[in-house]
Structures are given as C-alpha cells and as structure tokens.
Amino acid sequence: PALENVTNVLVQRINAETQRIDMSAWYLTEGAIVQALISRHRAGVQVRLIGDRGSIFEIDPHTRNAFYQLAAAGVPIRLRYNPSWFPEIVHWKATIFAGQGIVAFGSANYTPFELAPVSSTNYKDETVLFTNDVELVRAFKTKFDRFWNDTTSEPESRIGGPPYFRNWDAACAAESTCSDYRTQYPNPAPMVIDTRRLEPDWPTSVGGNMIWGQGPSFNNRLAQEINDEFTRVDFVIYRLTVDNITQALLSKHQSGVPVRLIIEPSEYLNKKWPEFWLTHANLDRLWAAGVPMKMRIHDGLTHMKMLVTSDYATNASSNYAANWQRDHDYFVPAATKPAIYGAMRDRFQAMWTNTAGFANFVPQPPDAAGLVTPANGSTGVATTATPTWNRAAFATSYDVYIGTSSSNMTLARNVPAQLVENPPTTYSFQASLQAGTTYFWQVVSRTNATPRNPSLVASSSIRSFTTSGTATPPPSSSLPSPWVNQDVGAVGTAGSAGLSNGVFTVRGAGSDIWGSADSFHFAHRPLSGDGQIVARVTGVQNTHTYAKAGIMMRGGTAAGAAHVILDLRPNGAVEFMARSSAGGSTSWLGGATQPAPAWLRLQRSGSTVTAAVSSNGSTWTTVGTTTIGLPSTVNAGLAVTSHLIGTLNTSTFDNVSVSAGGTAPPPPPPPSATDIVVYAADIPASALHGSWSSGADSSSPNGVKLLTTDAGFTAANQPLTSPADYVDVTVNAEANVPYRIWLRLRALANSKYNDAVWVQFSNARANGSQVYALGTTSGLLVNLATDGTGSSLNNWGWQNGAYWLSQATAVTFPVSGSQTIRIQVREDGVQLDQIVLSPSRFFNSPPGGVSGDNTIVSK
C-alpha cells in the first residue's frame, strides 16, 4: 500500500465475485469498498461480514457509520461480542473471494489511508497478500465459517465456549452508541443471517506456518525464528510489549548476528494505556544494547508486522503483545514461496536505505512523576512517612532524592517501576526521618535508555515537608585541635563526633559513600605530604548491612570530592574504595574480612595509597594499593555513614593516629612475575564442560568468546563441589607473588540475570590461608553489574568481585608452576573472553572499563 492502490484491487475483486464474499474487518471506512459490497449483495451474491463490537461501538465512529450503511442495505453482519469486558477482538483484515479461489489478508485495515498512498511522501507501510494458494484459501474459509457458525470453542478465550458472536440487530440493541442507527436508517432492508456451515473443516495450520491469534503462540514462534537465525534478522515493529521477543533480539545481537529494526515512533510514544508503555521500555532496551534501529520520518504510519529471516517473512495482523485475540499471522516460507518472500525481504531493504522516509532511532525521555504525599509545605509529617508519587509514562525506575536543603539533596533510593500491563498507579518508599526537621524531596524518572544517555530523565517538582516533634540537637563535639567534624552531603540529620578517654565516638547518617557523591559524617584533620592514618574500629552500629565506619583521606569536604577510604561494615567485611577525581565514580579496589575490633591503616607515599588491615595492630595484611591524584594536603580522618537518610549510626574508634612520613608501601613484585593473560581462543574445547561453548565475536581477541546457554535457571548461591557447567584454565604462576585476578565478562542481552560466575583455584592463598579451592563450596563471586539495577551492563566489562561483597581478589600460590583456574556458572547466559592475573600492571586498577569496554590486553 505504500506504493500501489490496494483499494482498487480489492474493489475489482469484489465486483468480479459471483459466488460468495466473506470479509472480516477491524476497521472499515473505505467508501468504495462499502459500496462495492452493497452492490454485490443487491446483485444476489452472498456476502457475509464480520466486525467487532470494540472498534464499532467503542473506538471508531467512522467504522460504525460504515457498518450502519451495510446493515441498512441488508448485508448479513455478525459481530464478535463476548466477552464485552475484555478485548478478545477479531483483528482480521481479510477477504475471501470464494468463486475466484482467492484470499486477501495482511496488516492493513480497510481504510483509505492504509490501502493506498496519499502521496510519495505520505503513506502507510503495510503488507497485503492476494493469494490463490489452495491450502491458504481453504484455511481462511474454514476459520471464517467457524466464526460465523459460532459453535467452535476457542481454547484461548477467557470465557471458554461460545457464543462469542451476535447478529447485528442484537448487538446494536445492546449498545448505547448504536442508539442512533434506527434514527439514521428508520427503514433498513431485511437482514437474513444463516449461520449454517458452508465449508468443511479444512486443515488450518497451513503446514505449521499460520498462527491464528495474537499472544503466546505467535510470540513464541517469532522468538524461535529469531533464535534459529544465524545470518540476519530484519524486523518491523509497530507495538512490542513482550519480553521473549525482546530477549531473543538482544541475544541474537549479542551473539554477533546482524539485527536491524524499523519502528513506528507514534506507537513508541503512545501513552494511552500502561501496556503500551512497554513498547517504549523494550525499544529503549534494544537501543541501549546497541541494536541498529531506524524510525519512520515520512508522513503516515509504519504499521506492518514483518519479521524477515533467512527462512521466513511474516505477513501478519498481530502486534507483538501478550493477550490473545483473533488474528492471522502467516510465516511465508522462503523455500516454497520465494517470490513472495523475496518481495518482503526487498521491501525491508528499500525501507532501511530510504533516507527520506526513515532515520536513525532517537530515544525519548519519560514523563515526570507527579508527587502525591506528603503535600507540599505540610507539617506534622510522621518520621516514618512514605513519600509517594504517581506513576509516569515510560519510566522504568525512579531515583528519589531527599535532603534538608533544596540545593543539597542526596539519592536516597532507586525504586524500580513494575513493567507489567497494569502497574500500580503510585510508587513509594519507606523513609527514616528525624523529628522536627524540614525536608525537601524530588523524584527523577529514568528509562532503559538512560544508562546510555543520562540526559533521558524527567524531574518532578521539588516539595518540602516538616516532620512532627522537636528536633534533637546534635551532641556537642569535643575534638581537640586540629580535629574538626562535619556532615558531608545531604544526610537527613546532623551527625556529631567526640573524643573521650582515647575513644572517638562518631555518629553519622547519610545514604552511602559510593557513586559520584557521598553522604556521611566526617571527623578529620589535615595531613600534608606523605603520611598515614591508623585507627582501630571497635564497633559499627548495624543500621544497615552497608553501613560503614572507617578511615579516609579526602581531597575536600564536598560530596563529590576525590577520596580513598578503608572501612568496616557491621558484618566484618572490610572495603577498600576510591574516587580518583572530583565528581567521578567510586571504585571498589579490594576487601578482606576482619570483624570488630579491626585495625585499619591508610599510608600515602607520593600518589600511591596503600590499605592494610590487622587484628592486633602489629601484623598487617595489605588489602590493596591505588594511584590517586589527591592534593598535597588532605583531610585525614574517621568516616561514618548509616546508609539510611535521617538515621544516625554510632560507631567507635580508638588507637587513632595521623602522622606524617609513615611506612613505605611494600616493594613491587619481583621482576620475574609478569601478567598472565588468557584469551578464550587459548582454551581448548576439552576444557569446556556442560553449557560452556565457544562462539564467534568480532569484539573478542582472535574473534572468539566463551558463552553459556541462557536456560533461565536461578543463580547458584555457591559453587558446586562437582559442577557440570565449568571451564578449567591452566596457567603458570610464580610462587609467593600477589596476583590480582580480572575477568572480562558480558551478560547476555545486558541482563543482570546473566552476568555472574564463580572462580576457584587449585592452590591459591589469601591472607595466609587457602581460598576458593576446587572441590569446595568456596569461590570468588564475580558479578559484572555494579549495582542492583543492572543499569551498568553494556556489552563487555572488567570485574573481579561483586558490589555487595568484600572478597579477596589478590591471591598467591605457594609453589611456582602450573595452576588451575576454574570458572563455574553462577547465572547462565554469562559470556567470557579474557582472564588476567596481574602482579603489577593491573594490580591496582582493571585493564579496562566495567561497561562498554573494548580493551584487549596484550600478551
């Protein structure tokens, strides 16, 4: 229809029919077709017309007027009616010409602008097939006859068995929007409806290539064809609201098979129902993964539903959606219908290369959320309030910011949206607030495209409220000069610090020390040049599993200042982290386990900072080192965050000392120890077990990666003593040399459910003891995503731990020579192409980025 007038062809076929015309129409507004049907009926040709109550009585008055004309002329009409409370519609766009042995069907409704171009720049992209294939014609005859007769059950229907249809007069009488029919046509011609079967039960599967409905059967077949394709996937999308097709496209793109998508921008931005918002989410997800996408820019609409693979092209009326409805979705086989298949394949290529009609897809931001409660300026709000906001079109998650100043709010929570057809109308989170305090808050809507383009957000207004009660003044600080203390970032309630009998008591609120901005209480003093800070953490209040009490060297007191921190969590986990530049992200550098009381030490020598931990203050174990450009004079001191805005964490320290000079960091490893670099291409097939296999990937060294099949199983909570799915890698290492391990991983479809492995060693040591041994349930968990949202996942990335754990990532081997590294699947769908054990070059920093990386480490 973009190139030729299909209306004329249909009218010619209608006028030429002498036996029977069976038509089923979702929309019918083309006057020439209406008049041709009336003329054939008056000429004595049997005409049977099926419509749907939804389009006629609820959606489109133009279709209703067309059916009025046909009904008034006495053309027999039956309407899909039951259930009236759920749209199990007849979405057909098909006409059967019984005497000519032809059926015409496709994606185009019977409307003027869908069946013929308005101009060379104003048209609709559709597919309409006229065929005399006996098997297809008979299949349509049987399906139509079953509708008309209405005694055949539809297994997918929510109401079970028939009746599903009503005759025109009965349907019209039951609808208020049809009350004017008799006014407009007071003397309609008699309508004689005979529901007896006219056709036998011909086979309707058409060799397994016809799906008669929208929903799981069609979606699963599409996903299957995408999964089975290894040359190219071309896909035209009007509406895409289901995950399995999206996942299949992502997986195929990630595997290196070319995928090209053409989408309809108006449907991408359709806000009518939350179900339609899922199209926005799915297309953003595909774009963020780097799938090539184009969108219509010509006047009109791209309404076709066409998949093209090496084996099939689809001429379909269904959208890619979850709910079942009556449709006709034909998989045109390339092998037996090469002319039709070739025309569809060529049409996609013509659209893809048409720069006047199509352009690169440009994702759009979500709507801003509307804040609901607490009301702006309200007082007496409970300290356990739940800030609530209305859902926003196209938002896939919400960042909630809160603080005691509108200019200094901190991210308190990321709340995921429910990506379902009927999500809740509001979202909220449980706050922990201080009495008698005025707070400001704001919600920022995010999409699946935001991680790739951070500007794709929408901010709500900023509201304020005041909690009930009287604010408790912070305890007075009693720190000797030159010590001072202050809150850093938006903490929700003021912290404090004091020194008594050699014990520092630091009380701090705040959201975290992480990301690009921190929120905590800091007791500190200046330290110029080389030096060290030592403290024993005697207690960390368990306000949250990620609460922190530790020592810090910081380039300033701004929330985003560069810093190095060595901290202790309530569970005894020690974390070594740094932000290398102001406003940059925070990196996790290493960890250990040392329950309180735990001695912590940071030493600075030039631009190198070394972290160490001890149980007794005399025997120290290095946690890690980092190179960082802090200013000559830094703030060195004690940091405490509760990990809960507005809630104080009380932690204690003793044996605190800040001194210039310090002890030099340990010498570098002996020169004989060099980086151990293993490519996937180096690993023989005999070392791959179970679901692990090798695959092609142009972005991997030597074009080879290792991958696992995504079978959808739940993540393994621990390594298996006798695994089925694993890779054994043999390396040669030097004895007693600390090696930092790094893996370059990729999550299938950038899914957080496909991004983790367990690492074990044949004979590795950490902190003097064997760790992560083969044949045990101990292992180093390597999880590519950097937080629970998985938003950091973007193709390849380097990682050696898990964001929620403190684990030893540097190991030694007691003897030189051959060592075995075992990689077990934790989440299937994970991919791997490089393993690095580095004693020097990458000991303090990864070989490349954690997201969107293209680094191939040289050997």
Question: Region 815-829: what's the mean pLDDT?
Answer: 92
pLDDT score recorded for residue 767? 67
Beta bridge partners, 756, equal 783
| Residues 499, 639 share a domain | yes
In a domain? residue 60? yes
Residue 650 pLDDT level (bands cut at 50, 70, 90):
very high
396 and 347 in a single domain? The answer is: no
Query: Both 500 and 636 in a single domain?
Result: yes
pLDDT classification of 669: cutoffs 50, 70, 90: very low
Whether 57 maps to a domain, the answer reads: yes
- Residue 772, sorted as left (phi over 0), alpha (psi -120 to 50) or beta, turns out to be left
pLDDT mean across residues, the chain:
93
Indicate if 224 and 276 belong to the same structural domain.
yes
Would you say residue 779 has pLDDT above 70?
Answer: yes
Separation of CA 346 from chain center: 32
CATH of the domain at 146: 3.30.870.10
Summarised one tens digit per residue, pLDDT across range 223-270 is 999 999 999 999 999 999 999 999 999 999 989 999 999 999 999 999
Instruction: Name the band, by pLDDT with cuts 50, 70 and 90, for residue 475.
Output: low
Q: How would you list the strands of the sheet with 426-428, edge to edge? A: 371-373, 388-390, 426-428
Write down the pLDDT at residue 361: 98
Q: What is the pLDDT of residues 261-281, one digit of tens each?
A: 999 999 999 999 999 999 999
Distance CA 306, CA 299 (A): 20
Evaluate whether residue 194 is within a structural domain: no
- DSSP code per residue over 104-173: EEES--BSHHHHS-SSSSEEEE--EEEE--HHHHHHHHHHHHHHHH--S--TT-TT-SSP-EEEHHHHHH
- At 805 the pLDDT is 76
pLDDT tops 50 at residue 671: no
Across 204-218, average pLDDT: 97
Distance in Å from the first CA to the final CA of the chain: 58
Q: CA geometry: angle at 543 spanning 539 and 544, to 5°?
A: 110
The structure's pTM equals 0.67
Residue 472 belongs to a domain: no
Same domain, 180 and 222: no
Q: Are residues 78 and 173 in the same domain?
A: yes
Query: Same structural domain for residues 496 and 617?
Result: yes
Residue 804 sits in a domain whose CATH number is 2.60.120.260
The predicted-structure confidence for 168-187, as pLDDT tens digits, reads as follows 999 999 999 999 999 999 99
DSSP state of 804: T
Q: What's the pLDDT score for residue 670?
A: 44
Categorize the per-residue pLDDT at 668 as very low, low, confident or very high, splitting at 50, 70 and 90: very low
Alpha carbon 523 to its chain's center:
40
Average pLDDT, integer, range 602-624: 93
Higher pLDDT, 586 or 172: 172
Residue 664, pLDDT > 60, answer no
Model confidence at 631, in pLDDT bands (50, 70, 90)? very high
How many structural domains does the chain have?
5
Q: What are the pLDDT digits (tens) for 366-393? A: 999 999 999 999 999 998 899 999 999 9
Gap between the Cα atoms of 517 and 559, Å rounded: 5
99 inside domain: yes
Does some domain include residue 693?
Answer: yes
Q: What CATH number is associated with residue 526? A: 2.60.120.200
Q: What is the pLDDT of residue 432?
A: 77
Q: Residues 168, 245: one domain? A: no
Highest mean pLDDT among 295-299, 764-768, 824-828: 295-299
651 forms beta bridges with: 506, 540
Whether residues 452 and 494 share a domain: the answer is: no
Question: Is the residue at 772 inside a domain?
Answer: yes
User: Could you tell me if 747 and 631 lie in one domain?
Assistant: no
Could you please report the per-residue DSSP string of 565-583?
EEEE-TTSEEEEEEE-STT
The predicted pLDDT at position 472 comes to 66
Domain check: are 394 and 312 in the same one?
A: no
What domain range includes position 702?
A: 676-838
Q: What is the dihedral of CA 336, 340, 346, 348, to 10 degrees?
A: -100
Q: Is residue 281 part of a domain?
A: yes
Query: Max CA-CA distance within the chain?
Result: 109
